[in-house]
Amino acid sequence: MKRELVIEPCTGVSFFVKRGGIVIVEDMNGGQVADFFAEAADYNEEFLSTGVTIDVNGSIVLKKGDTIYSDRYRPMFTVIADDVGEHDILHPCCRREMYDFLYKDGAGHPNCLDNINHALKKHHCEIRPVNLFMNTRIAADGSIEVLPPKSLPGDRVTLRAETDAFVAISACSAHESQCNDGECSSIKVYVED
């Protein structure tokens, strides 16, 4: 079965994908981050973990051929194609408190934590997603800087599901920084399983 979903700016969607299924995330207009999160279908307390992914892959860089792991150290997705090669696995989802702290505008601000929780009908207190297309630079002294995404219109990341999973993706809501190059836009998702 093939499905196509459009995630409007500052919103999120969720869907089920079977083991062996393909998920393609496309930056429709370029310069837009997509927060990618998943839960194992066979155990609802198991979820995507960027910390475990860093631990197992031995890298803070996610690239073609790498596997994204769950908090139980089980493979969840494998990156099988990547037009951009620049993604962030350090930052948590943006949330109201972040917008309050950094920009003093959190009240009523759409955010990825709420978008993903709403899409999954859950209440995760914190989510550390794979921030597809997010361009984070790490300096030699350990400081980090978020730069505009390198993704161009139509650039894609293709993932193969290694387990049955419920996936949630948010088109990131941060327009105050360079995260989405100052303007939020749409993300397209193709699911084949």
How does pLDDT run along the chain (193 residues), one tens digit per residue?
899 999 999 999 999 999 999 999 999 999 999 999 999 999 879 999 999 999 999 999 999 999 999 999 999 999 999 999 999 999 999 999 989 999 888 788 999 999 999 999 999 999 999 999 999 999 999 999 999 999 999 999 999 999 999 999 999 999 888 899 999 999 999 999 8
pLDDT at 5: 98
pLDDT at 143: 96
181 Rama class: left (phi>0) / alpha (psi -120 to 50) / beta: left
pLDDT at 187: 98
- Number of domains present in the structure of the chain: 1
pLDDT at 159: 98
Q: Rounded distance, CA 113 to CA 124, Å?
A: 8
pLDDT at 107: 85
pLDDT at 174: 92
pLDDT at 1: 83
Give me the domain span that covers residue 21: 2-192
Q: Rounded distance, CA 158 to CA 148, Å?
A: 21
Residue 133, φ and ψ in degrees, nearest 5: 75, -5
pLDDT at 190: 98
